[in-house]
Structure 1
Amino acid sequence: MANLNQRNPVRGFLVSVGLDPEILVQFQYNPEKVDDKRSISYASLNAPGMLMPVRQYSAGGDRTLSFKVLVDGLFAGPADDEIDIARDDRGGIGPELLKYRAFMYPQTENWQDAETSVDGFVSLYDDPNSVFAAPPVCAFGFGERVIDCIVTEVSITEQLFNASLDPVRAEVSVTLVEITPYNPDPSV
C-alpha cells in the first residue's frame, strides 16, 4: 500500500512532444479521477426476412481521457518544494493557465511570449504570412501510464481573484485523445 504521507508524491503531467522549447505542465494537485473511454463502431447489416440486423465490426474508435485539476496560487501543493506553478508579478496564475491553453493553439516557436501579452496567444498569430502547424502532440503521464495524445479540449473555470482581478485559483478540465501508431501498409 502506498504511503499517503510521503513527502514528494508523484505528480501527473502533460508535456509537449517535438516542440522546442517544450511546454511542461506538472499538476500541482493530481486529478481525483481520470475518465478513460474507448469506443468502436459496428455497421448494421440488414437483409430481407431477418428479425434483427447483424452487427459487423467496422472500425476502432478513439480512446478519450478526461480529468480535472486544480491550480491554486494561494496554497502550496503537495509537491511545491519541487514543482512551482507559474505566476505573474502580481501573484496571478495566468501564466500557468496559458500552459494548458498552449496545447490548443497552433505551434509557434515563441509561445512563451503569450505570457506577456494581454490577449494571450492571439497576438502571436497577427502576421498574415504565418504558416500554421497543428497544436503540439503531447504525452500525458499519470503514475506508470505515459500516453501519447493530443489535447482536444481545455476548459478553465477561474474560481478566485486577487485585488487586480487576476485569477489565483482555477479548475482546469482537459480532454485528450490517444494517438496510436498507424501503418497503412500492414506488410511492413
Structure 2
Amino acid sequence: MKGAIVGLDPFNPLASVIIFQYNPDTLSRTLNARTTSTPWQQSNPTQALRLAGPPTETIRMEIELDAADQLAEGDGIAEAVGVTPALAAIEMLLYPKTALIVANKVLAAAGVIEVIAPEAPMVLLVFGPTRVLPVRLTELSITEQLFGPSLNPIQAKVSLNVRVLNYDDLGLATVGGGLFLAYQISREVMATISSVGGVVDAVAGIGG
C-alpha cells in the first residue's frame, strides 16, 4: 500500500493526486495539548483538566522521488523532464491558482469585487486505511539530485511538514471535519484494544 497526498481540487483533480513512489522510512508526529487554562489560571482547580479541543498535531516526513526505473524503460517523459512533474504537483499545493489570481485582479480593477485571499483546496494525507487526515502543508523542502541533459532532476528528496486540521478548524459537518472525527474514533478503538490486551496479559501473568 502506497501513501499519498490528495488535493480535493474539482478544477484540476488529476494534478492534485501525489502517490508516494516509495513510502517514507520514518514519520514524525508532534501533538500539543490545547488546554483552557492560561498561565495565571493554572492554580484554578476547576480548569486544571479541561481541554479546549483536540491537540494540535504536526507531521514531518521525507519522501524520495527517482526516475531511474522509468529512464531504464525508455520513458519519454522521464527522459525529458525527470521527476519535475511530481515535484510540481507537490509545490502547487502551496500556490493559488493563476486563473483565479488574474480574474480577481481584473474584477478588482473594475470595482466589481472586494478581493479576499484565495482558498486552497482541501488536502488529505493518506497513510494507510486508518489514517486519512485533512492537513495543511506548512513547509516544503526539496533537495534535487542528479540532473539530466536539460538540467531537470532525476532524483529528489522532499521533506514535508503538515499541520493536521481537525473538526474545530474545519467544522464537524464538513468532509474534512468528518474525516478527522473518524480518525479520532479509530484511535480511541486502538487505545481500547491496547488497554484490553494489557489487562489480559496482566491477568494471565497473575494466573501463571
TM over 0.5: yes
Alignment of 1:54-133 (within 5 A): 59-60=52-53, 61-75=55-69, 87=77, 90-107=80-97, 125=101, 128-129=105-106, 133=118
Give the letter aligned to residue 57 of structure 2.
Answer: R
What's 1:3 paired with?
none
Is the CA contact 1:87–1:95 (under 8 Å) kept in the aligned structure 2? no
Asked if 1:178 is matched to 2:164, the reply is yes
Question: Are the structure 2 counterparts of residues 29 and 57 from structure 1 closer, same or farther at C-alpha, using a change threshold of 3 Å?
Answer: same
What's 1:168 paired with?
154
Q: Gaps (5+ residues) in structure 1?
A: 1-9, 77-84, 110-123
Give the letter aligned to residue 19 of structure 1.
Answer: P
What's 1:31 paired with?
24
Identity level (%): 26
CA distance in 1, matches of 2:155, 2:86: 11
Q: Deviations over 1:49-71 (max 9, x none)?
A: x9xxx967574552111110000
Give the letter aligned to residue 8 of structure 2.
Answer: V
Count of aligned pairs between the two proteins: 148
Structure with more of its chain in helix, by fraction:
2
Question: Are the structure 2 counterparts of residues 37 and 90 from structure 1 closer, same or farther at C-alpha, using a change threshold of 3 Å?
Answer: same
Question: Are the structure 2 counterparts of residues 86 and 58 from structure 1 closer, same or farther at C-alpha, using a change threshold of 3 Å?
Answer: farther
CA distance in 2, matches of 1:87, 1:97: 14
Q: Deviations over 1:38-97 (max 9, x none)?
A: 1024521279xx9xxx96757455211111000001136xxxxxxxx9946614211110
TM-score normalised per structure 1: 0.65
Question: Are the structure 2 counterparts of residues 17 and 46 from structure 1 closer, same or farther at C-alpha, using a change threshold of 3 Å?
Answer: closer
CA distance in 1, matches of 2:91, 2:77: 15
Structure with more of its chain in strand, by fraction:
1
Question: Are the structure 2 counterparts of residues 86 and 142 from structure 1 closer, same or farther at C-alpha, using a change threshold of 3 Å?
Answer: farther
Q: Gaps (5+ residues) in structure 2?
A: 108-114, 173-208
Give the letter aligned to residue 39 of structure 2.
Answer: S
CA RMSD of aligned residues (A): 3.1
CA distance in 1, matches of 2:9, 2:25: 29
Is the CA contact 1:34–1:65 (under 8 Å) kept in the aligned structure 2? yes
What's 2:126 paired with?
141
TM-score normalised per structure 2: 0.60
Task: Give the drift of 1:155.
Answer: 1.1
